[in-house]
Amino acid sequence: METYDVIVIGAGPVGENAADRARRGGLSVALIEAELVGGECSYWACMPSKTLLRPGAARAATTGIPGLPEPGPLDPAEVFAWRDRVTGEGDDQGQEDWLASVGITLIRGHGRLAGVRRVEVTAGELPEGVSTTRALEARRAVVVATGSVPVLPDIPGLAEASPWSSRDATAADAVPESLIVLGGGVVGCEMATAYADLGSHVTLIARGGLLGSVEPFAGAAVADSLRAAGVDVRTGTSVTRVERRGTTVTVTVGGGDEAQQVTAAEILVATGRTPRTADVGLESVGLDPATALAIDDTTAVLTARGDDAGGEAPWLYACGDVTGRAATTHQGKYQARVCGDVLAASFGEGDTGTGTATASVERVADAPPWSPLRATADHGAQTQVVFTRPQVAWVGLTRAEADAAGRDVDEVAVDLTSAAGAGVTHPDYAGRAHLLVDRERRVIVGATFVGPDAGEMLHAATIAIVGEVSMDRLWHAVPAFPTVSEVWLRLCETYGL
């Protein structure tokens, strides 16, 4: 039995951060990884997808600028080569070296809980029938950071057609002549944009509108722009059958007399992801492997407050995609920082390891809402950027969410072209900013920006929300002229200031 203070299962961006913060707090940490250290984000998600999207975005930003020659088509081979450099050609040695340098023990293999504070690791890549299982025990805590897996909808013929997942789309080395994208969420819209940029004839099929969880004007702007780029965008319809024959895939869209067929060289399924809770041994500690690991704001798993030092301390923690709370790298890493700090504060330096950690645990339990020991931003200040053209960026509530929560809000919206900076950025600059302001408290509770580089405008809104800055105070935050950020002045004016 190998023993560590903390065992983290999953070395994606989230697990790495939890391990790092716990280690900095003086705890011994083992980090278990079944595939590549750095996780989905580094090799098959955020990093490669944003690299594939960047050349098209740069081309669009410089197309139509007076005095600049029109840029030509993208060179897919060069784009893929850049993607490979950004993803380190799938080699995680650099990350492994970093873990060693900070004193975290990396254990390669598949980790599973095997009871309270017990973890078994099965090494991969062994001959069939040979299994090497290492038994580990956590003196203090186990953190589950196993991420998520894509959902394959139950559509006749879809599984048999071996469709692309987001991994295939972000790791491809060639551009299919035509591509059907199933799903109008973030990944569907981003990959439709990237592959249209790379020269594929893209058909995007979405059950609802695009980017359905955001303000409706955002999805509409992305749909318009995809159509202008030649993408066949079909919203409000479903695929009812899929068939791959030879080098083509045919999907049936809609049913009955309205049914239509679309044929393409490849099909990408981007219909969402689900927490990776299967095969993590959750049943061994009485948890349901079919559901997300619900956590409290200290990132302790809600139903696993078990017997630990002093009989008080939670021992099982989770962060990142596996919690179902947030499905972005930055929010998951935020939870991970909280998690690592909570573990360090509960059990780290100062705790001799011989007695109980009750006093420290109580200090953690009494921490105020905005202390580093609480994942408070998860509730009203989650941020996300969709790297489509236009970009879509939002933080906090949407109007629909505010209504559902019974919040009394004022809506304030202006076109980005109302800021002088827009006109000097691009002659055809377009976009919109939208705020939700709590009527009584006059503080922002939600913000959405749609436009070129809208993601860079988001953080001002995030700070205003987290800091609960009133609109009256924001009036005194004077944006520089002529920047696109001057839209904040327009928003204040439209609010009535």
Ligand X SMILES: Cc1cc2nc3c(=O)[nH]c(=O)nc-3n(C[C@H](O)[C@H](O)[C@H](O)COP(=O)(O)OP(=O)(O)OC[C@H]3O[C@@H](n4cnc5c(N)ncnc54)[C@H](O)[C@@H]3O)c2cc1C
Beta bridge partners of 300: 317
326 Rama class: left (phi>0) / alpha (psi -120 to 50) / beta = beta
Per CB under 6 A, does 183 bind ligand X? no
Site for ligand X in 109-128 (CB under 6 A): 110-111
Binding mask 232-251 for ligand X (x = CB under 6 A): --------------------
> Residue 321 CB, nearest distance to ligand X (Å)?
4
Choice from 329, 391, 448, 462 touching ligand X (CB under 6 A): 329
Per CB under 6 A, does 40 bind ligand X? yes
- 271/417 with CB nearer ligand X: 271
- 35/341 with CB nearer ligand X: 35
Segment near ligand X (CB under 6 A); pick from 37-45, 61-69, 123-131, 398-406: 37-45
Site for ligand X in 380-439 (CB under 6 A): none
Size, binding site for ligand X by CB under 6 A: 36
Segment near ligand X (CB under 6 A); pick from 141-149, 391-399, 403-411, 472-480: 141-149
* Strands across the sheet containing 232-234: 232-234, 201-205, 178-182, 266-269
- 464/380 Cα distance (integer angstroms): 12
In the chain, count H helices and then E strands: 16, 21
> Residue 7 CB, nearest distance to ligand X (Å)?
11
Contact 225, 83 (CB under 8 A): no
- 253/339 with CB nearer ligand X: 339
- Mutual angle of helices 13-24 and 93-101, in 10-degree steps: 20
- 7/205 with CB nearer ligand X: 7
DSSP states of 85-111 as a string?
HHTGGG--HHHHHHHHHTTPEEEESEE
How open is the CA angle 60-63-66, to the nearest 5 degrees? 145
Per CB under 6 A, does 469 bind ligand X? no
Per CB under 6 A, does 313 bind ligand X? no
Per CB under 6 A, does 341 bind ligand X? no
Sign of CA dihedral 56, 61, 62, 65: positive
Segment near ligand X (CB under 6 A); pick from 5-13, 85-93, 344-352, 443-451: 5-13
Choice from 147, 188, 348, 446 touching ligand X (CB under 6 A): 147
Choice from 33, 92, 351, 486 touching ligand X (CB under 6 A): 33
Which among 408, 475, 400, 403 is positioned nearest to 440, based on CA atoms?
A: 408
- 40/351 with CB nearer ligand X: 40
- 213/208 Cα distance (integer angstroms): 10
Per CB under 6 A, does 269 bind ligand X? no
DSSP states of 151-172 as a string?
-----TTTGGG--B-HHHHHH-
- 342/471 with CB nearer ligand X: 342
Collapse the DSSP code of 309 into the 3-class scheme (helix H, G, I; strand E, B; otherwise coil) and give the result.
helix
Per CB under 6 A, does 10 bind ligand X? yes
Per CB under 6 A, does 163 bind ligand X? no
* Alpha-carbon distances of 67 from 64, 71, 81, 112, 425, rounded to whole Å: 9, 12, 30, 60, 13
276 Rama class: left (phi>0) / alpha (psi -120 to 50) / beta = beta
- Which token pair is 48? 């490669």
Choice from 6, 7, 8, 14 touching ligand X (CB under 6 A): 14
Per CB under 6 A, does 170 bind ligand X? yes
Segment near ligand X (CB under 6 A); pick from 13-21, 227-235, 417-425, 470-478: 13-21
Contact 151, 271 (CB under 8 A): yes
Segment near ligand X (CB under 6 A); pick from 33-41, 78-86, 253-261, 486-494: 33-41
Q: What are phi and psi of 234, to 5 degrees?
A: -120, 110
Binding mask 73-112 for ligand X (x = CB under 6 A): -------------------------------------xx-
Per CB under 6 A, does 136 bind ligand X? no
- 439/286 Cα distance (integer angstroms): 45
Per CB under 6 A, does 31 bind ligand X? no
Query: Residue numbers of the site for ligand X (CB under 6 A)?
Result: 9-15, 32-35, 39-41, 45-46, 49-50, 110-111, 145-148, 166, 170, 187, 276, 280, 320-321, 327-330, 332
